[in-house]
Amino acid sequence: MGHDHVSNTKRIWLVFGYLSIITIVEVALGIKRPEALYHSHFLTMNLLNWIFIILTLVKAYYIVWAFMHMEGETKALRRAVVWTGIFLILYLTFILLTEGHYVFTVFRDATIKWNF
């Protein structure tokens, strides 16, 4: 079960270091917004947004695995929680963003203007 009662202090500080570095990178990119990334386009979004989202997922991984100690739980509990969450969230996001974009095109291309 991984509940060995040895101190994990070193790992905790290491993970804190990772999370801090990722946050600093995010903030630096958010302030600078380099044109090469910000004005690019890749799979419906600019590259900067993709970087932000990927870094966020890395942060989420470290929080759940190290801080919440998911790595020490049984495989069954881990999958019951993580897979359920990831599947439902991806599904919901896909449906809503697709629909949102569709409504946007309806507004944009309609003959009646919402902004009168």
Partner 1 sequence: MGSTVTTNSDVANVWNGGGAQPLGASYGKMMMWFFILSDALTFSGFVAAYGFSRFKFIETWPIADEVFTHFPFMHGVSMPMYYVAFMTFVLIFSSVTMVLAVDAGHQMKQGKVALYMFLTIIGGLIFVGSQAWEWKNFIKGEYGAVETKGGSILQFVNSKGEHIKLADFAVTLPEEREQLTRSKATWFMSESSLPTYSVNEVVEGFKNNPDVLVRTEVIYSEETAKNATGVHPTLNHIKHKTILTREESLKRLEAAKLVIEGANLKHNEYGSKLFADFFFFITGFHGFHVFSGVVINIIIFINVLLGTYERRKSYEMVEKVGLYWHFVDLVWVFVFTFFYLV
Residue ranges that bind partner 1, judged by CB under 8 A: 1, 3, 5, 7-9, 12-13, 16, 19-20, 23-24, 26-27, 29-31, 33, 38-39, 49, 52-53, 56, 59-60, 63-64, 66-69, 73-77, 80-81, 84-85, 88-89, 92-93, 96-97, 99-101, 103-104, 107-108, 113-116
Nearest distance from residue 24's CB to partner 1, in Å? 8
How many C-alpha atoms does 64 have within 13 Å on its Cβ side? Answer: 14
Contact 15, 66 (CB under 8 A): yes
As beta bridge partners, residue 48 has none
7: which 2 tokens? 């101190």
CB of 102 to partner 1, least distance (A): 9
Length of the chain: 116
Closest approach of Cβ 94 to partner 1, in Å?
A: 9
Separation CA 43–CA 33 (nearest Å): 19
Task: Indicate the DSSP class of residue 72.
Answer: G
Min separation Cβ 31 and partner 1, Å = 5
